[in-house]
């Protein structure tokens, strides 16, 4: 009998052909609606493999009623939506999709920085609202990017790719991680500093660290207070790293100058979200890795991760390999 794999969202069929060969596959047949809690729970009573998304919380209730589950393959590099500790305890491999999305997400992160600093969405609205009457010296004047200081919190795969882009803009690069990246320091001219030093010195503070118990609400009142009044905060990792009420206050009171946000504490957000209402915020809907090429690559990698684990082979990327003794 073939193993049973459940996919939590409608995926392009042509990318699943290899999976169809080795498994019985069922897909939640909606592109824009997440699978309801009870449907997922019911599917997991039977499933050997799960193809999940960042928008699917896979928590204890699910895992406790998943007696046959061998692999959860998240179509994302981040995996904070999954209770990895419990999965590991139950012997379930948790896979993800690093590397294939690094450059695409770095492009978007840098685009968000440019868009926020140079007020591009506001400028586009200016024309579509038919407000442009004549050229004026300070019309929609923004902030320079070149030769300014960028501070990257979370200098991992995407952080380094953002630093590479910043180097091309002649920026001074600071970074903060728990560990030093000496190769990046040499190749990119990046300087390691403490979190507080980074906040105090950066014109652009870019958040690219994962959401963990350690990083939850790392950007709170105190963090925004440390930043320059002229600083722009960019978040392309997870909304949970930010205390949103503190960010709102910092933006309203001029404690910082602006923010570009791809991610939010609770997603999706609506147009009436307090941060979206602010004129100095550019908000976009978690599209860091959203190009057709990269999303295809992520689907393919997720499929390969599932197939490999079901065949008893080593997956392309998993977060609990060591803990499972693989
Ligand atoms: P990565 O290579 O693992 O990089 C994460 C970096 O964060 C590491 O260098 C790590 O270094 C650092 N870090 C971990 N905990 C930290 C802490 N407590 N304080 C400071 N730094 C810490 O991951 P990646 O591939 O670059 O992806 C990063 C994150 O981006 C993902 O976790 C995901 O949440 C987010 N992401 C978002 C999108 C989007 O659509 N917006 C797309 C892709 C990824 P140390 O371990 O040395 O501290
Ligand atoms: C997207 O947010 C990811 O973690 O890949």
DSSP 33-102: SPPPHHHHHHHHTT-SEEEE-TT--B-HHHHHT-TT--EEEESSS--TTB-HHHHHHTT-EEE---STTH
- Say if CB 92 and CB 253 are below 8 A apart: no
Q: Is the beta carbon of 319 within 6 A of some atom in ligand 2?
A: no
Q: Residue 267 catalytic?
A: yes
Q: Residue 24 catalytic?
A: no
- Say if CB 226 and CB 193 are below 8 A apart: no
Identify the CA nearest to 209 among candidates 283, 157, 149.
157
Which pLDDT tens digit goes with each residue over 9-25?
Answer: 999 999 999 999 999 99
Please check whether residues 42 and 149 belong to one and the same domain: no
Q: Residue 286 catalytic?
A: yes
- DSSP bridge partners of 15: none
Residue 69 is predicted with a pLDDT of 98
Residue 99 is predicted with a pLDDT of 98
Residue 8 Cα to ligand 2 middle (Å) = 16
Number of residues written out for the chain: 326
Domain that holds residue 118: 102-283
SS (H, E, C) 188-206: HCCEECCHHHHHHHCCEEE
Q: How far apart are CA 7 and CA 125, in angstroms?
A: 39
Residue 31 is predicted with a pLDDT of 87
Q: Is residue 270 part of a domain?
A: yes
Q: Is the beta carbon of 78 within 6 A of some atom in ligand 2?
A: yes
Which pLDDT tens digit goes with each residue over 262-285?
Answer: 999 999 999 999 999 999 999 999
Note the pTM of the prediction, 2 decimals. 0.98
User: Which one of 238, 273, 295, 308 is the catalytic residue?
Assistant: 238
Ligand 1 atom nearest to CA at 210? 32
Please check whether residues 27 and 127 belong to one and the same domain: no
Q: Is residue 326 part of a domain?
A: no
Q: Is residue 324 part of a domain?
A: no
Please check whether residues 55 and 146 belong to one and the same domain: no
Q: Is residue 325 part of a domain?
A: no
Please check whether residues 90 and 125 belong to one and the same domain: no
Please check whether residues 145 and 201 belong to one and the same domain: yes
Stretches where the chain sits below pLDDT 70 are none
Ligand 1 atom nearest to CA at 179? 47
Residue nearest to atom 32 of ligand 1 (CA): 210
CATH code of the domain containing 69 = 3.40.50.720
CA count, 13 A, side-chain hemisphere, 25: 22
Q: Is residue 317 part of a domain?
A: no
DSSP category for residue 320: S
Please check whether residues 176 and 254 belong to one and the same domain: yes
Residue 55 Cα to ligand 1 middle (Å) = 18
Please check whether residues 106 and 161 belong to one and the same domain: yes
Q: Is residue 279 part of a domain?
A: yes
Residue 251 is predicted with a pLDDT of 98
Structure tokens at 86: 């419990």
Q: How far apart are CA 163 and CA 223, in angstroms?
A: 22
| Probe residue for ligand 1, chosen from 54, 55, 77 as the CB with the greatest number of ligand atoms within 8 Å | 77
Rounded alpha-carbon distances, angstroms, from residue 128 to 47, 122, 133, 141, 276:
50, 10, 12, 18, 19
Please check whether residues 20 and 57 belong to one and the same domain: yes
Please check whether residues 182 and 80 belong to one and the same domain: no
Please check whether residues 35 and 142 belong to one and the same domain: no
Please check whether residues 263 and 299 belong to one and the same domain: no
Identify the CA nearest to 229 among candidates 249, 203, 256, 263.
256
Q: Is residue 320 part of a domain?
A: no
- Say if CB 139 and CB 191 are below 8 A apart: no
Which pLDDT tens digit goes with each residue over 78-108?
Answer: 999 999 999 999 999 999 999 999 999 999 9
Please check whether residues 263 and 186 belong to one and the same domain: yes
Residue 64 is predicted with a pLDDT of 94
Residue 164 Cα to ligand 2 middle (Å) = 20
Q: Is residue 323 part of a domain?
A: no
- In the chain, the number of structural domains is 2
Q: Which ligand is nearest to the CA of 162?
A: 1
């Amino acid at each position: 009998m073939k193993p049973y794999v459940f996919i939590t969202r409608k995926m392009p069929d042509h990318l699943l052909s290899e999976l169809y060969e080795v498994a019985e596959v069922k897909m939640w047949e909606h592109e824009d609606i997440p699978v309801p809690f009870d449907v997922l729970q019911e599917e997991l009573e039977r499933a050997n493999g799960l193809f999940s998304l960042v928008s699917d919380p896979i928590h204890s209730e699910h895992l406790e009623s998943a007696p046959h589950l061998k692999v959860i393959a998240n179509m994302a590099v981040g995996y904070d939506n999954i209770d990895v500790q419990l999965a590991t305890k139950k012997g379930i491999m948790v896979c993800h999709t690093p590397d294939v999305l690094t450059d695409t997400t770095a492009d978007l992160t840098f685009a968000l920085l440019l868009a926020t600093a140079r007020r591009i969405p506001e400028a586009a609205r200016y024309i579509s609202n038919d407000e442009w009457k004549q050229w004026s010296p300070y019309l929609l004047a923004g902030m320079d990017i070149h030769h300014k200081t960028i501070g990257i919190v979370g200098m991992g795969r995407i952080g380094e790719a953002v630093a590479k882009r910043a180097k091309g803009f002649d920026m001074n690069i600071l970074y903060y991680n728990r560990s030093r990246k000496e190769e990046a320091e040499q190749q990119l001219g990046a300087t390691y500093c403490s979190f507080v030093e980074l906040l105090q010195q950066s014109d652009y503070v870019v958040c690219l660290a994962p959401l963990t118990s350690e990083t939850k609400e790392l950007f709170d009142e105190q963090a925004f207070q440390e930043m320059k009044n002229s600083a722009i905060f960019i978040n392309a990792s997870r909304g949970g790293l930010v205390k949103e009420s503190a960010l709102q206050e910092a933006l309203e009171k001029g404690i910082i100058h602006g923010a570009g946000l791809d991610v939010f504490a609770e997603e999706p957000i609506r147009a009436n979200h307090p941060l979206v209402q602010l004129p100095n915020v550019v908000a976009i809907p978690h599209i860091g890795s959203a190009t057709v090429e990269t999303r295809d690559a992520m689907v393919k990698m997720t499929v390969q991760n599932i197939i490999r684990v079901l065949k008893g082979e080593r997956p392309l990327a998993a977060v609990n390999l060591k803990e499972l003794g693989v």
